[in-house]
Chain A
Amino acid sequence: MARQFMKGNDAIVVGALAAGCRAYYGYPITPASEIAHAAALHFPALGGVFIQAESEVAAMNMVYGSAGMGVRTMTASSSPGFSLKQEGLSYAAGAELPCVVVNIVRGGPGLGNIAPEQGDYFQITKGGGHGNYRLIALAPNGAQEMCDLTMHAFELADKYRNPACIMADGITGQMMEVVEIPKAQPRTWDHSSWCVDGTPATAGNLVSSIILEPEELEAHNLKLEAKYQRITADEVMFEKYAVDDADLVVVAYGVVSRIVYSTVDQARAEGLKVGLLRPITLWPFPSAAIAALCGTAKSFLAVELSTGQMVEDVRLAVEGRKPVHFYGRCGGVVPGGDELLAEYRRVLGGGSR
């Protein structure tokens, strides 16, 4: 078995290489820099491209360039840098370019700090840049998933010709775990029908997001929307742990889901019927899976490293059928297991805080 003990950030690069990614463009920022370090080592060694760009704006627009060439390409950053990528993301979504963008989220707003947070949920799942578009968003919670979901992100990006995002946090990026190194995947994608790769075969193609005529741009938007509906129908991923008989369904993703996972058995030992529903895709959100639990669960609790962002999607899924509670820490403060157990007791006991 080809295994290695590695950082989540390094595992992203391994996954990218195994997915056939050939061009990496980045700009340093803690706690995402290891991704650039690993890319700088591995991409050129494999005859691929690594450029430390002049900014995240430039890095994302370089991704636009390579993606338009029909090449698997990526960039990675952390929150302030991810903000700067919004321009390029909107253009890539408009031009329907497949690419992968990683955000190792840190504390905000502004410069904030470099500690783990999930305050970029809205920016990632609700847009962020201008116009009607969606990012496919995957939320790994360990090093193996950093690798595997990066590969999956490339698949989805190509399948739907849309940017895909990995949303992780400082802990998942910095933590080391045992990773099974994947096999390099066969080349399944062929973009010659639309890409511009500097060969006569594609010289008639155009990579662009400008559409002047309102009717035509509306049609383009509706086509994108239909694509987003297909993604919503087909690509939702989530994990359930002890939810089928749970009175309290805790919804958490990323590192928070790991903390919650640790508390479920403890809670059950106390007689509290708690379960975990972990969204793996943040967009599309596992709304149906949550809705399906409204019959059995007495209430829901969203736990996040934010002041309450994903909880809005939980509420939309529950549609008022059951109470939806929220518990969040932010600024880099990570809730402990005891803290969560106290919250479960309070919610299940109907107590107030």
Chain B
Amino acid sequence: MKTYEKSAGFFPVFERKTGPAKEATHYCPGCGHGNVHKMIAEALEEFGLIGRSVFVSPVGCSVFGYYYFNCGNFQAAHGRAPAVATAVKRTNPDSIVISYQGDGDLAAIGTAETIHAANRGENICVFFVNNAIYGMTGGQMAPTTMIGQRSTTTPQGRLETVHGNPIRMAEMLATLPAPTYIERVAIGDSKHIMKARKAIRKALKIQAEGKGYSFVEIVSACPTGWKMDPVHARDWLLEDMLKVFPLGVFKDESDSRDENSWHRRYDAYEPAVVDEYLDRLKSTLGEAEPVALENDLHCKFAGFGGQGILTLGLLLSQIGMRAGQHVSWFPAYGPEMRGGTANCSVNLCGSRIGTPLVENPNVLVVMNQPSLDAFADQVTDGGVIIVDTTIVEGRPDAKRLRPVLIPATAIADEVGMAKIANVVVLGALVAATGCFPRAFCEDTLRAAIKKRSLVDMNIDAFGRGYDFVKNAR
């Protein structure tokens, strides 16, 4: 015996629906939404998918989809159902996710979400009810409204030159490589209806088999918005709409795709796994006994991009961190750096650091002339100013400041790499300020430099900078 009757994919009684008549839908007589709902509910039931299904209702007349479907339900913002559906599927790849949308929702306000969910090939089903009108808000023009069709916002009929042409979403999306299956069907005559049913079932099957994204566009009547009785609406759909929206399969790779070819990993939260992972992010400098810092350092490092200015700051910061000091490093970021200049502020302090910005450094490193011009005046009285004399022609005020004039780039060349001038400068800085013992700094450098082959060269550069200052005394 075969019975055609209300599917268990629907709630037996629509308790969420407001008002009386809790077994009838809220849709107008002859509205195609109801037909599509029936086909979806039936397929969910027959394929045994109800328990793990999530139905995402859009904004439009089907905003109340959650009144009806006996599964998990989300109500999404206008146009955003594909984004919500994407996240739902990604956070439970075993769920069956339906993004159900009207033409305003899918092809106007949600165009971006629609295209990108398709382009990512999300393993979801998008059921697109194209009724050529905004039903819910009172019959306004939709992106799919037909040329000449009257709507409340095209009272003279849609004009190509003014309003553009009806959008064919199925054809557009079929140009993308990712989607598995794209078909346009109709709630028209019986043949159409049975094809629509088949397409909806096929889409859900594709998802259940893990084969990827399906898009079924369903040309459907809105008798109310069209201001027609349901039978005339159906006839208009058959005679006029299908000329503009031809039915057919625009893409079908369901046979060539492997089961579960759409695979996205999702693991639930395991604190122990995260702990193990976070442990790998910790500093590899190794533990050291705290090293006292006699005077807090407020440093500014400035020069051209590419001179390793920011790295110089980072290396000193790491030494400070390993010594157990409070440290902050702040780079000039964004367009400030585009001009080819670079600078950063570094604080090394025995106690909590206030502002991370260094307005008045007690150590300034300048590796180009503009930096000397810009920052020398800001250095506190008696502050150290380290100048790379290979590059900078000017000389700082030796009465007010403690200049360290070092041909860092030339020394770096001798070491074998001009780019390592920043480490020569670091050696000079440590010697000039006496902030931390040489050996402690060298140990830190050994641990901090990731590329093993460069360690010796860095230690050499550091040592030469350090010795240059010590020997000049």
Within 8 A of A (CB), among B127-146: none
B71 at the interface (CB under 8 A from A): yes
Task: Please pick, from A30, A58, A62, A142, the residue contacting B112 in the complex, using a CB distance under 8 A.
Answer: A58
Q: A4-B283, A23-B91, A336-B359 are in contact. Are A55 and B112 (CB under 8 A)?
A: yes
B382 at the interface (CB under 8 A from A): no
A66 at the interface (CB under 8 A from B): yes
Contact with A along B269-303 (1 / 0, CB 8 A): 10111110111011100010000000000000000
The reply to whether B278 and A3 contact each other, CB–CB distance below 8 Å, is no
A42 to B265, CA, bound (A): 14
A157 at the interface (CB under 8 A from B): no
The reply to whether A198 and B266 contact each other, CB–CB distance below 8 Å, is no
The reply to whether A17 and B116 contact each other, CB–CB distance below 8 Å, is no
Within 8 A of B (CB), among A130-178: 142, 170-171, 174-178
Contact with B along A79-98 (1 / 0, CB 8 A): 00000000110010001000
Within 8 A of A (CB), among B305-364: 314, 317-318, 321, 326-331, 333-335, 352-357, 359
The reply to whether B97 and A61 contact each other, CB–CB distance below 8 Å, is no
The reply to whether A5 and B318 contact each other, CB–CB distance below 8 Å, is yes
The reply to whether B330 and A31 contact each other, CB–CB distance below 8 Å, is no
Closest to A90 in B: B77
B230 at the interface (CB under 8 A from A): no
The reply to whether A337 and B359 contact each other, CB–CB distance below 8 Å, is yes
The reply to whether B73 and A61 contact each other, CB–CB distance below 8 Å, is no
Q: A58-B83, A58-B113, A178-B321 are in contact. Are A170 and B333 (CB under 8 A)?
A: yes
Number of residues from B at the complex interface, CB < 8 A? 75
B241 at the interface (CB under 8 A from A): no
| Interface residue stretch chosen among A120-128, A200-208, A304-312, A320-328 | A200-208
The reply to whether A198 and B282 contact each other, CB–CB distance below 8 Å, is no
Contact with A along B87-128 (1 / 0, CB 8 A): 110111011110000000000000011011000100000000
B227 at the interface (CB under 8 A from A): no
The reply to whether A207 and B73 contact each other, CB–CB distance below 8 Å, is yes
A353 at the interface (CB under 8 A from B): no
* Interchain nearest-CB distance for A111 vs B (Å): 12
| Interface residue stretch chosen among A228-236, A257-265, A281-289 | A257-265
Task: Please pick, from B73, B80, B268, B314, the residue contacting A22 in the complex, using a CB distance under 8 A.
Answer: B268
The reply to whether B85 and A175 contact each other, CB–CB distance below 8 Å, is no
Task: Please pick, from B113, B266, B318, the residue contacting A54 in the complex, using a CB distance under 8 A.
Answer: B113
* Interchain nearest-CB distance for A108 vs B (Å): 15
* Interchain nearest-CB distance for B362 vs A (Å): 14
B51 at the interface (CB under 8 A from A): yes
| Contact residues in B for A71 (Cβ distance below 8 Å) | 91
Task: Please pick, from B66, B76, B277, B333, the residue contacting A174 in the complex, using a CB distance under 8 A.
Answer: B333
| Contact residues in A for B86 (Cβ distance below 8 Å) | 51, 62, 65
The reply to whether A203 and B71 contact each other, CB–CB distance below 8 Å, is yes
| Contact residues in B for A48 (Cβ distance below 8 Å) | 266-267
Contact with A along B245-277 (1 / 0, CB 8 A): 000000000000000000011111101111101
B365 at the interface (CB under 8 A from A): no
The reply to whether B92 and A65 contact each other, CB–CB distance below 8 Å, is no
A49 to B83, CA, bound (A): 14
The reply to whether A66 and B333 contact each other, CB–CB distance below 8 Å, is no
Q: A174-B333, A178-B326, A186-B271 are in contact. Are A47 and B52 (CB under 8 A)?
A: no
The reply to whether A4 and B281 contact each other, CB–CB distance below 8 Å, is yes
* Interchain nearest-CB distance for B441 vs A (Å): 16
The reply to whether B318 and A171 contact each other, CB–CB distance below 8 Å, is no
| Contact residues in B for A61 (Cβ distance below 8 Å) | 76-77, 80, 83-84, 87, 113
Task: Please pick, from B71, B287, B329, B357, the residue contacting A259 in the complex, using a CB distance under 8 A.
Answer: B357
A14 at the interface (CB under 8 A from B): yes
The reply to whether B87 and A203 contact each other, CB–CB distance below 8 Å, is no
Closest to A63 in B: B87
A91 to B287, CA, bound (A): 48
| Contact residues in A for B88 (Cβ distance below 8 Å) | 65-66, 68-69, 196, 198
Closest to B448 in A: A5
A187 to B269, CA, bound (A): 8
The reply to whether A184 and B18 contact each other, CB–CB distance below 8 Å, is no
Contact with B along A16-57 (1 / 0, CB 8 A): 011010110100001100000000001011111101011101
The reply to whether A65 and B91 contact each other, CB–CB distance below 8 Å, is yes
| Contact residues in A for B116 (Cβ distance below 8 Å) | 53-54, 58
The reply to whether B278 and A18 contact each other, CB–CB distance below 8 Å, is yes
The reply to whether A213 and B18 contact each other, CB–CB distance below 8 Å, is yes
| Contact residues in B for A200 (Cβ distance below 8 Å) | 51-52
Task: Please pick, from B57, B269, B329, the residue contacting A20 in the complex, using a CB distance under 8 A.
Answer: B269
A72 at the interface (CB under 8 A from B): yes
| Contact residues in B for A14 (Cβ distance below 8 Å) | 278, 281
| Contact residues in A for B95 (Cβ distance below 8 Å) | 197-199
- Which of A87, A170, A178, A186 has the most C-beta atoms of chain B within 10 angstroms of its own C-beta? A178
The reply to whether B356 and A184 contact each other, CB–CB distance below 8 Å, is no
| Contact residues in A for B273 (Cβ distance below 8 Å) | 46-47
A210 to B267, CA, bound (A): 31
| Contact residues in B for A18 (Cβ distance below 8 Å) | 274, 278
A68 to B91, CA, bound (A): 10
| Contact residues in B for A1 (Cβ distance below 8 Å) | 287
The reply to whether A53 and B83 contact each other, CB–CB distance below 8 Å, is yes
The reply to whether B87 and A66 contact each other, CB–CB distance below 8 Å, is yes
| Contact residues in B for A338 (Cβ distance below 8 Å) | 359
B384 at the interface (CB under 8 A from A): no
Task: Please pick, from A68, A183, A196, A212, the residue contacting B18 in the complex, using a CB distance under 8 A.
Answer: A212
7 nearest interchain CB pairs? A198-B95, A262-B354, A65-B87, A47-B267, A200-B51, A208-B75, A196-B72
A-B contact pairs, 15 of them (CB 8 A): A3-B283, A47-B265, A48-B266, A48-B267, A65-B74, A65-B87, A65-B91, A68-B84, A73-B87, A184-B274, A196-B74, A199-B52, A205-B73, A206-B74, A334-B357
A-B contacts besides A198-B95, A260-B354, 4 pairs, CB < 8 Å = A22-B91, A54-B115, A177-B329, A178-B321
Chain B contacts to A: CB under 8 angstroms: 16, 18, 50-54, 57, 63, 66, 70-77, 80, 83-88, 90-92, 94-97, 112-113, 115-116, 120, 264-269, 271-275, 277-279, 281-283, 287, 314, 317-318, 321, 326-331, 333-335, 352-357, 359
